[in-house]
Chains A and B, each alone.
Chain A
Amino acid sequence: MIKHFIGLDIGSTYTKTAVINENKELLQLVFKPTGWNGAETAEQVRQELADKGIDLAEAKIIATGYGRVSVPFAQKCVTEITCHGKGAAFVYGKPNLTIIDIGGQDTKIIQVLDGAVNDFVMNDKCSAGTGRFLEVMAKTLSVDIAQLCDLASQGGNTSISSMCTVFAESEVISLIGRGEKRENIAFAVVDSIVKKVASQAKRMITPGSFLCLTGGLSESQYLLNALSKELRTPIASHPHGRYAGAIGAALLALNL
């Protein structure tokens, strides 16, 4: 009798793991930086779960995320798009919803109908509108992403025009050189990503659809409000938002 169903979401920045039982009850959530080697991170996760009495040899495991192919003990790989759709529908208890997931290296808008992915859009290979964009800009301002969002909430009246992370960084540097207030620069950075993500999301949102934000950035109330304002629609977030992909993978493991 299999007791554990495990989803491993190896993202470009963080690795998220969810363990459920056959009644779909959440038993464990594990969160750690992916580092430079996905396979090594997967091994750390295996060890950590073993310490908690979860034997991977006795479990059904699905890997997802960009590092999904580097999990030697996973029985199957499923794309993060399918897993996010499944996981978010479960977390929010809604069969129909639209997910905005701002990930480390890509941003996805996923439309879920009847609990399954119906359609999606994803940014192209450039990092505009992704978590990486915010990370680079935060670093330039010597803060972390949470602080960047806090600063942004106190700023205004500044914009950066470049979508390209590299050019935007030089724009930020010239704003710093010009003596612009940090709050205003932070505002411009967040505003830029909000507009980029919103323009992507608009293609997918139908009137009346339930909208939610997943991924690490779903914990920033400021970003949530700004995005909601730009899209003129309320956007939900959930403490388990960043685990949506891992939870979805664990749920899919039930069918293995």
Chain B
Amino acid sequence: MSDYQKMWQDLGMDMEQHDMLCQVLPSAVGDVFLSQENRPKSMDFWDLVISEVHGIRPAELIEEQKKGRKVFGTFCVYVPDEVVVAANGIVTGLCGGSQFWVPGGEAVLSKSTCPLIKASVGARLGKTCPFFRIADIYVGETTCDGKKKAYEILGEDVPLYVMDVPQMKRPQDIIKWKDEIATFAKKVEEFTGNKLTVENLNKAIHIINEKRKALARVYNCRKSKCLPISGRDALLMMQISFFDDPERCAKMCNRLADELEERIAKGISVVPEGTKRILVTGTPLAVPNWKLHNIIETSGAAVVCEEMCTGTRYFENLVDETKESLDEQFMALSERYMKTNCACFTPNRGRIDDILRMVEEYQVDGVIDCSLKFCCLYDTEKRAVSQALKAKGVPVLSLETDYTDTDAEQLRTRIGAFIEILNG
């Protein structure tokens, strides 16, 4: 890892603790990613970014801050990046995916809080994540009770703005979300000192749409029977996309998609013919949470799609780029974002329909529905997911896990047995 010691010191990080965190990453990356055979060459970009995940991008963000740009840290695919980008701000994801941060979160949160929230709060309070140190403002949202209360704690020592996400998807809720976006836009203008215009917002909408299209191109390649990329590599690309500059992200994803399309044309697959194809659905897999994909793919199956926030929910559906007033643009944004099907909505039939559609599109043999411990919303929705899939004759395995490795062997038994069923 390059020398970022001074940068981390300047950020006020706990250097001793951070060193411990940095020590575990290289072997994890080696075990999960570098040990794979026949990887696409274009993964070199993400290998580099993940190997210096606390260095490369944070250094860029700090350079941009010196030019007067503001960094917005977000936790949810409902927060509209377009509004921030239009005002020349930068968005970075903040969700924590490591057990390393969980105890720090547990010190202040209810024990029945999901590990993603615990890790995020722990990363902030423990001063061991540069992104949490760099962000000028955090943007929260009301997608679950655990997060709502956690934001109150995070907001104690950092500027924090919370968007009120509707709980239903009636016409009045789409208008309500449009109003929320408009109110957020005012906050962004005030915080960055830059005005939103029809032009800069449409340009931002275009930039983010292009990023979505590039991510979708990679996912499209995963629909092929000849599978050109592993689930682990696709997941890494997806996780990093939350932190990267959106234009570079699009460029890199398109470069990867070019290679994957070529592989498909040449019949180059990363798995033997007949390998069972798994759709993973449920709660997000924040970086560096690779446990589930790693177990599935070292048990003889391949992950071909993630119906998750770190997956299809991030890039499906585009925003209309043809609107000519801010009001219409906010509405266009609301309409796009309200198509994202999160378990925090009721009813949430849209997610079931998405899963059934993706089972067809990605030629899926079996579905693994996995939620983080204490995520009541996704856990409860497992019943509906399982019923709908079974009615269509699609095998499904429901799992619950956290960030620890203590259940890895038990998960391996369940997942192994599930793959044995699929193999018949």
Binding site for B on A (CB under 8 A): 66, 78-82, 106, 116-120, 122, 124-125
B420 at the interface (CB under 8 A from A): yes
**Contact between chains at B410 and A125 (CB < 8 Å):** yes
> Contact check: which of B400, B407, B420 meets A79 at CB < 8 Å?
B420
Contact call A66/B421, Cβ cutoff below 8 A: no
Collect the chain A residues with CB atoms within 8 Å of residue B421's CB.
82, 116-119
Q: Counting CB contacts under 8 A, is B108 at the interface?
A: no
- Besides the known contacts A106-B410, A117-B421, A119-B395, 16 further A-B residue pairs in the complex with CB atoms under 8 A apart: A66-B409, A79-B413, A79-B420, A80-B413, A81-B414, A81-B417, A81-B420, A82-B420, A82-B421, A117-B417, A119-B421, A122-B410, A122-B413, A124-B400, A124-B407, A124-B410
B406 within 8 A of A: yes
Q: Does B274 contact A (CB under 8 A)?
A: no
Interface majority SS (helix, strand, loop, mixed), chain B: helix
Chain B residues with Cβ under 8 A from A78's Cβ?
420
How would residues 1 to 17 of chain B score, 1 for a CB under 8 Å from any chain A CB and 0 otherwise? 00000000000000000
Tell me the complex Cα distance, A79–B409, Å.
11
Verify A117–B420 contact, CB threshold 8 A: yes
**Contact (Cβ within 8 A) B420 A125:** no
Q: Name B400's closest neighbour in chain A (CB-CB).
A: A124
Q: List chain A residues, Cβ under 8 A from B171.
A: none
Contact A79 B416 (CB under 8 A): yes
Task: Report 29 cross-chain contacts, Cβ distance below 8 Å, ordered by A residue.
Answer: A66-B409, A66-B413, A78-B420, A79-B416, A79-B420, A80-B413, A80-B417, A81-B413, A81-B414, A81-B417, A81-B420, A82-B417, A82-B420, A106-B410, A116-B421, A117-B417, A117-B421, A118-B421, A119-B395, A119-B421, A120-B414, A120-B417, A122-B410, A122-B413, A122-B414, A124-B400, A124-B407, A124-B410, A125-B407
Contacts of A81 in B (CB 8 A): 413-414, 417, 420
Q: How far is the CB of A80 from chain B (nearest CB, A)?
A: 7
Expressed in whole angstroms, the Cα–Cα distance for A154 and B416 within the complex equals 42
Expressed in whole angstroms, the minimum distance between the Cβ of B62 and any Cβ of chain A is 41
A7 to chain B, nearest CB (A): 15
CB nearest to A77 among chain B residues: B416
Distance, CA A27 to CA B226, complexed state (A): 46
B347 touches A (CB below 8 Å): no
Please report the C-alpha to C-alpha distance between residue A124 and residue B411 in the assembled complex, in whole angstroms.
Answer: 9
Contacts of B424 in A (CB 8 A): 116
Which of A78, A106, A118, A125 has the most B CB atoms < 10 Å from its CB?
A125
Which of B407, B417, B420 counts the most chain A CB atoms within 10 A? B417
Closest Cβ neighbor of A78 among chain B residues: B420
CA distance in complex: A21, B290 (Å): 43
- The distance from the CB of B373 to the nearest CB of chain A, in whole angstroms, is 9
